[in-house]
Amino acid sequence: MRAVIYNLGYLPGGDKSITTLEESTLESISAALEKLMVGGLVILVIYHGHEAGKLEKEAILNYVSHLPQEKFSVLQYGFINQRNLPPFVVAIEKR
């Protein structure tokens, strides 16, 4: 695989009780990283302005911060001057 993109949280305009969940998201990210080719990217767009999103955000940041730097480069990109917990992006490149 060369690239995987995740849009985490809930569907805008949809049922906000239906969200992505930390456990299944982490399992999926782990599987994607195993199948990712060298130079490939996993992009995570993290919407965390709801209770499940807060838990998922913390679990993901904990997971990716412990990826070995010899195998992965991890970047966090987001707004610093926006209100209402804007989404942010985490990009993981396999080395």
20 vs 47: CA distance, rounded Å: 10
CATH value at residue 46: 3.40.50.150
pLDDT number for residue 12: 77
Look over the chain and give the mean of its residue pLDDT values, rounded to a whole number. Answer: 95
Residue 11 covered by a domain: yes
35 vs 90: CA distance, rounded Å: 18
pLDDT number for residue 68: 98
Task: Say if residue 68 is exposed, middle or buried (CB neighbours under 10 Å; 0-12, 13-18, 19+).
Answer: exposed
Residue 83 covered by a domain: no
Residue 85 covered by a domain: no
Residue 82 covered by a domain: no
Residue 44 covered by a domain: yes
- Nearest C-alpha neighbor of 43 from the set 77, 85, 79: 77
The tens digit of pLDDT for each residue in 50-74 reads 999 999 999 999 999 999 999 999 9
Q: Which residues contact 81 (CB under 8 A, 6 or more apart)?
A: none
Residue 89 covered by a domain: no
| Domain span including residue 61 | 3-77
Residue 94 covered by a domain: no
pLDDT number for residue 1: 94
The tens digit of pLDDT for each residue in 12-51 reads 788 888 999 999 999 999 999 999 999 999 999 999 999 9
Stretch 82-93: mean pLDDT:
96
Give the start-end residues of each E strand in the chain: 3-8, 41-46, 72-78, 88-94
Residue 36 covered by a domain: yes
| pTM, to two decimals | 0.94
Domain total in the chain? 1
